[in-house]
Amino acid sequence: MLLASELSYGYASAGHPARSFMLDSVSLSVERGSLTGLLGPNGCGKTTLLKLLSGVLQPQRGVVSLNGASLAGRSRRDIARHLAVVPQETHPAFDYTVMEMVLMGRHPHLGPFELEGPSDLALAHDALSATGTEHLATRAYMTLSGGEKQRVVIASALTQSPDVLLLDEPTASLDLGYQLEMATLLRRLNLERGVTMVLATHDLNLAASLCDRLVLMRNGRVVAQGPTREVLTAATIRRIYDVDADVSFHAPAGHITVTPLRRVQ
Amino acid sequence: MSHSLAAAKTPAAGDAGTRAMPSPIRTRLLKSIVGFGLLAIVTCLVAPLIGSSPISLARVFDRSVPFSQNVDAQIFFVARMPRVVAGALVGAALATAGVVFQALLRNALATPFTLGVSAGASLGAMLAIVVGATVSAGPLSAVPLASLAGAGLAAAIVYRLATMQDRAMSTTVLLLAGVTLNSFFSALIIFVQYIADFAQLYRAMRWIMGDLDVGSFDPIVAALPMILIAFALFAWLPSSLNLLSVGADAASARGVDVGRTQRLAFVSASLATAAGVSLAGPIGFIGIVVPHLVRLIVGVDHRVVLPASALFGASFLVVCDLAARTLLAPLEIPVGVVTAMLGGPFFLWLLVRKG
């Protein structure tokens, strides 16, 4: 349903138009109801790829299409009705309540002068309950813990009623307990609600436990992509991270686990 | 995609009906507009009654006495009402410009005054006053036009600084940019004063202290088109400002055309600032005191904060002006001094609290 073909993108800096591409000929395909992980070292272009997939950035070459229609030339509002983004961290400048943050997800569905009505509120409550944050609805967002904030931002993205949810390192700033909770939440949203997700992460074990498919990147190029079990191997980890790792099936966890051993010189 | 999400795309009317949940935003908006609107109406009706010659509202509206013989009506409508209307318009314009700049720059300390936009507008207006320019474009006369040019220049510099980097401008950068622009424009204003003759200088000095004594409805009419355009543009902004204040990427991902919204916000806030400054001089701190007090009462949703700040800004400046002309009567304090006395400590308190 979400297709990227031959995407290239370079950031231009003052006086230096993009000379080399940050992303170079990246293609990937996301199936309806799937959970796709984007893996790769810092600066490999994961976040840029997510921005291209969400239409926040326009590719200099290549096409992103959703359900067969290209994103190019479509309004932000139109794209946001289909694609929602959960950034790494969200820091509002003002003290919004959780409910206000969640209701902002309805923005692309409302006219310029339209206020949200009962059906929008019902959707917000539904998203709060799906993310286990209904009891926080009247709290100020800034007073929440990191894990709660991330759940609220996911609820806000769900309120957008998207076809695809794009998550940028959803567990990056969370402690172990919240990381587990987040993984459980994402799995549940995928299994019970069929939410299609693409998540960029540094956490190989999170990716191994959650994702059906992985896209492994390095230096703006796709090194390998395919089903998790086939792609997540010691050889590919060595290729993209320069790290020797033990990759084995962990029976109690029920998924592949990756244990880094040493940096390859 | 699951049924639940598919259903979520087009919420069933039946479901909405059975839940029958109240819409807090509608209620809050209505309450705020009625509450702050009543306050503004009462303030604007009471303020002209108070002054050196006491008048009665009943006599003002007494139709049995012809206007030419009704001294109370003349004082009310001719002597005091233009000043009150100017106060209300300037207060509304500067307060809303503050709200818009704060959301746009994601910084609660951004105002037309702290950013240097007021100073830019002042320089423009000062030049027009000193040169005695008589240029006009349609209903706009020289002072508002020159003021707009100055505000536009300052806002363009701030816009360039703010959009140069992905991240929001830090408070430090923002305040330093404001200090720099303010010093720069102040130096130019001093230069303009230096080359002015004595009569022009007196007029310019009186104006730069912030003064709502507009004398007649003519300056109000001259500034009105700019205020109306600014307010019409503001009407498009509130829900986008909510998202922009969360972050540019977040706003874009929720369907906001960030570049267009930023330009619209800068243009409309500059227009409002220019209109306010051209009418009454650079009256400071309205753009910071009013939005903060309003947020304490109605919360931070810009769909409520923006109209509420317009109405409360109107009342606030009318009351400040009332204090300015009555506290030390018959001596009249420039209203800019009154707002600075209130706003200066308030600003410092905010800075300490933020730190």
Cα-based angle A73, B251, B256 (whole degrees, multiple of 5): 40
DSSP-derived letter for residue A36 is E
Using CA atoms, how far apart are residues A256 and A205, in angstroms rounded to an integer?
7
Q: Is residue B311 part of a domain?
A: yes
Return the top range by mean pLDDT from A51-55, A256-260, B31-35, B217-221: B31-35
Where does a domain end: A140, A161, A182?
A: A161
Whether residue B255 and residue A97 make contact (CB cut-off 8 A), yes or no, is no
Residue A67 in contact with residue A228, Cβ under 8 Å?
no
Is B87 a residue whose pLDDT tops 90?
A: yes
Question: A79 at the B interface (CB within 8 A)?
Answer: yes
DSSP helix/strand/coil, B226: helix
- A111 lies in the same domain as A69: no
Q: What is the CA radius of gyration of chain A?
A: 19
DSSP helix/strand/coil, A252: coil
Whether residue A79 and residue B20 make contact (CB cut-off 8 A), yes or no, is no
Q: Is residue B232 part of a domain?
A: yes
Amino acid at B167: R
- A155 lies in the same domain as A207: no
Using CA atoms, how far apart are residues A159 and A98, in angstroms rounded to an integer?
13
Mutate to test the interface with B, among A35, A48, A94, A195 (most CBs of B within 10 A): A94
Structural element, H or E, at residue B244: helix B238-244
- A151 lies in the same domain as A167: no
Which of A16-30, B222-236, B291-305 has the weakest average pLDDT?
A16-30
**Nearest Cα residue to B337 out of B280, B279, B294:** B280
Using CA atoms, how far apart are residues A26 and B250, in angstroms rounded to an integer?
24
Chain B residues whose beta carbon lies within 8 Å of the beta carbon of residue A96:
242, 246, 300-301
pLDDT of residue B242: 95
When the pLDDT of each residue in chain B is averaged and rounded to a whole number, the result is 83
- A152 lies in the same domain as A167: no
DSSP helix/strand/coil, B175: helix
| Average pLDDT, integer, range A13-28 | 70
Q: Is residue B288 part of a domain?
A: yes
Q: Is residue B89 part of a domain?
A: yes
Q: Is residue B145 part of a domain?
A: yes
- A181 lies in the same domain as A252: yes
- A190 lies in the same domain as A124: no
pLDDT of residue A65: 94
Whether residue B253 and residue A83 make contact (CB cut-off 8 A), yes or no, is yes
Residue B86 in contact with residue B212, Cβ under 8 Å?
yes
DSSP-derived letter for residue A75 is -
Q: How many CB atoms lie within 10 A of CB B330?
A: 7
Ordered DSSP codes for B82-122: HHHHHHHHHHHHHHHHHHHHHHHTT-TT--HHHHTHHHHHH
Amino acid at B227: I
What is chain B's percent helix, strand, coil content, to nearest 5? 75, 0, 25
DSSP helix/strand/coil, B59: helix
Residue B286 in contact with residue B343, Cβ under 8 Å?
yes
More reliable by pLDDT, B114 or A109: A109
**Nearest Cα residue to A174 out of A165, A184, A188, A166:** A184
Beta strands B136-137 and B140-141, pairing class: antiparallel
Range of the domain at B316: 44-50+83-354
Q: Is residue B18 part of a domain?
A: no
Residue carrying the six token digits 């753009």: B287
pLDDT of residue A99: 95
pLDDT of residue B231: 96
More reliable by pLDDT, B334 or B91: B91
Compare all CA atoms of chain A with the CA of B260 and give the residue at the minimum distance: A76
| Average pLDDT, integer, range A27-51 | 92
Chain A residues whose beta carbon lies within 8 Å of the beta carbon of residue B240:
107
Whether residue A126 and residue B8 make contact (CB cut-off 8 A), yes or no, is yes
Q: pLDDT tens digits for A157-175?
A: 999 999 999 999 888 877 8
Using CA atoms, how far apart are residues A71 and A167, in angstroms rounded to an integer?
19
- A241 lies in the same domain as A223: yes
Domain count along chain A: 2
Split at pLDDT 50, 70, 90, the class of B304 is very high
Specify the CATH number for the domain of residue B289: 1.10.3470.10
Tokens representing residue B91 in the block: 């207060």
Split at pLDDT 50, 70, 90, the class of B166 is low
- A226 lies in the same domain as A236: yes
Return the top range by mean pLDDT from A15-29, B269-283, B299-313: B299-313
Mutate to test the interface with A, among B29, B109, B239 (most CBs of A within 10 A): B239
Q: What distance in Å separates residue A51's CA from the closest CA in chain B?
A: 9
Is B294 a residue whose pLDDT tops 90?
A: yes
Distances, alpha carbon A222 to alpha carbons A226, A236, B159, B349, in Å: 11, 11, 37, 53
Q: Which residues contact B234 (CB under 8 A, 6 or more apart)?
A: B96, B100, B268, B272, B306
Chain B residues whose beta carbon lies within 8 Å of the beta carbon of residue A87:
247, 249-250, 253
Using CA atoms, how far apart are residues A35 and A212, in angstroms rounded to an integer?
6
Backbone angles phi, psi at B243, to 5 degrees: -70, -40
Range of the domain at A40: 2-82+162-263
Using CA atoms, how far apart are residues B246 and A96, in angstroms rounded to an integer?
9
Where does a domain end: A133, A161, A189?
A: A161
Split at pLDDT 50, 70, 90, the class of B19 is very low
Using CA atoms, how far apart are residues B169 and A253, in angstroms rounded to an integer?
44
Partner residue opposite B249 with nearest CB, options A56, A95, A194: A56
Residue B148 in contact with residue B121, Cβ under 8 Å?
yes
Whether residue B9 and residue A161 make contact (CB cut-off 8 A), yes or no, is yes
Domain count along chain B: 1
Partner residue opposite B23 with nearest CB, options A121, A161, A192: A121
When the pLDDT of each residue in chain A is averaged and rounded to a whole number, the result is 90
Q: Is residue B293 part of a domain?
A: yes
Count of A-B CB contacts under 8 Å? 140
pTM: 0.87
Question: A12 at the B interface (CB within 8 A)?
Answer: no
Q: pLDDT tens digits for B179-206?
A: 888 899 989 988 888 888 887 787 777 7
Where does a domain end: A141, A161, A181?
A: A161
129-188 of A, contacting B, C-beta below 8 A: 158, 160-163
Whether residue B17 and residue A194 make contact (CB cut-off 8 A), yes or no, is no
More reliable by pLDDT, A53 or B157: A53
Cα-based angle B259, B261, B263 (whole degrees, multiple of 5): 70
Helix locations, A54-116, DSSP H: 76-80, 98-103
DSSP-derived letter for residue B63 is T
Q: What's the start-to-end Cα distance of chain B, in Å?
A: 47
Specify the CATH number for the domain of residue A74: 3.40.50.300
- A182 lies in the same domain as A251: yes
- A152 lies in the same domain as A171: no
Q: Is residue B304 part of a domain?
A: yes
Q: What distance in Å separates residue A63's CA from the closest CA in chain B?
A: 18
